[in-house]
Amino acid sequence: MKKVLISLLVVAAFVTGAYTTVYLIDTVKFEQEVIEKREIIGEDSIAPAVAKIYDAVVLIEIREGDSVINSGTGFFYKVEEEKGYLITNYHVVENSDTVVVVTNEEKEYEAEVVGKDIFNDLAILTVAEEAALETIVLGDSSAMAIGESVFTIGSPLGRQYMGTVTKGILSARNRKVETNLGNQRILFEVLQTDAAINPGNSGGPLVNLDGEVIGINSMKIVQETIEGMGFAIPIKSVRAIITQLEKGEEIKRPLLGVLLVDANDQAALYVNRINLLKEYQNGVVILEVGEESDAEKGGVQEGDVVLEINGEQIRNSAHFRFLLFKYEIGEEITLTLEREIDQEMEKKEITIKLETQLKQE
C-alpha cells in the first residue's frame, strides 16, 4: 500500500506544485519507518554473537586409517597448560580410533579423549593450544525465558558444510527424552529447540544472544510428520561432570546390582511367578538379584515389581536408572514395590544403602 501511495504522489508532484509538500512529508515518514525497522532487526540479529564464538567451534572427525567413519562438532571452552579443551558428545567419539579436530581454517590437529560419560552423552578432548583460536563462555539456560532466541554452529553432514549457523528459540526446558546409546536405553533431561540440528551437529553448542553456551546439541526426533524438535544437554547440569572428566576422573554412580526389565515388557513373563502379576503400565520387574549386591543386602527379591524410588514414580528401566543416579554412594534410598505373597501382590517398602560403585568403560 505504501509503494502505491508514493507512486501516485510522484505523479502529482509533476502535475502541480500544490502536492509537492505532501510528497516530501510522506517520503521522510517512509524513510524513517525503514530506518526504525532496520534498527529493530539489528537488535535481534545473531551476527555479533556468531562472530564472537565462530572460531571456537570445530569439526571433529573419527578416522580409521585414511577413512572418516564418523563426524560431529565440538567447541573450545578453555585453554590451560598449553592445551585447548573441547566439549563434544560421547556418541561422536564412542568407537574412536583416531580423533582429528578441524578448524575453520581447515587446520588439522589430532585430539586426545581425556574423559567421557555415556549417561550424559559427554566427552572432553584436548588438542594443542594453538588450535583454540577462541573459547566460548559456559552459560546457564535457567536465566533464559522460553521463546528467547538461540542459535547453533556446527558441521551437518561433515566437512562440506562445516561452520553452518542455524537459528531458533528455546522451546522448552526439562524435557525427558530416551534414546539408545551403546547397548543401553538411556533417559536424558534436555533443552528443546527448533533450531535446525542435523547429523554432524552433535556435540556443538546451543548458544544465547550473548554468545554463551547454554547446551550441547545431542539429538533430534526424526519422523516424517515431525519438524524442528532438537534437544541439547543443559550446560548447568553437567558443569561438575565436565570438571571431573577433564581431569580424567571417573564419575561415581551407585550400582544396585539387579537385572531388570520394564514391567509392561513381555520379558517379564519369564520371571518365576510373574504370571500372577496384574498389568502394570509403570515400574520395573526384577529379573535377577546379584549375590552380595546392595539390592540383595536391602532385601530385594526376584519377581519384585519396583514402582517408586523415594516416592517418585518409575516409568520404565531407563527412568529407574535416571532416578537412581541422582543419589550418591553412601546415601540410602527407599523402594516402593509389590511382591507376591501367598498368591497375592502386596505393597512393601524397603530401604537400601548405596555402597557399590558402577564401573564404567
Task: List phi, psi (to 5°) of 229.
Answer: -125, 90
Residue 85 — pLDDT band, cuts 50, 70, 90?
very high
- Greatest mean pLDDT among 32-41, 244-253, 270-279: 244-253
Active site residue 202: yes
d(CA 170, CA 265): 35
Q: What is the pLDDT of residue 222?
A: 67
Q: Give the helix ranges, DSSP H, for 149-194.
A: none
Active site residue 194: no
Active site residue 304: no
**Global pTM value:** 0.83
Q: What is the pLDDT of residue 3?
A: 41
Which residue type is seen at 110? E
Domain ranges across the chain: 2-43, 50-131, 138-239, 258-353
What mean pLDDT do residues 149-171 have?
A: 95
What mean pLDDT do residues 52-58 have?
A: 96
Same fold, 50-131 and 138-239: yes
Q: Which of 71, 96, 155, 202 is catalytic?
A: 202
Q: What is the pLDDT of residue 232?
A: 96
Would you say residue 103 has pLDDT above 70? yes
**Neighbour count for residue 156 (Cβ, 10 Å):** 20
- Provide the CATH topology of domain 258-353: Pdz3 Domain (2.30.42)
Residue with cell 543401553: 184
* CB-based burial label for 165 (10 Å; 0-12, 13-18, 19+): middle
138-239 classified as CATH 2.40.10.10: yes
What mean pLDDT do residues 222-250 have?
A: 88
Q: What is the pLDDT of residue 26?
A: 39
The pLDDT tens digits for 288-328 are 999 999 999 999 999 899 999 999 999 999 999 999 999 99
50-131 classified as CATH 3.40.30.10: no
Q: Which of 121, 262, 294, 304 is catalytic?
A: 121
Residue 360 — pLDDT band, cuts 50, 70, 90?
confident
The per-residue b/e assignment along 261-296, b for 16 or more CB within 10 angstroms, e otherwise, is bbbeeeebeebeebeebeebeebbbbbebeeebbbb
**Mean confidence (pLDDT) of the chain:** 85
30 or 53, higher pLDDT: 53
Residue 37 — pLDDT band, cuts 50, 70, 90?
very low
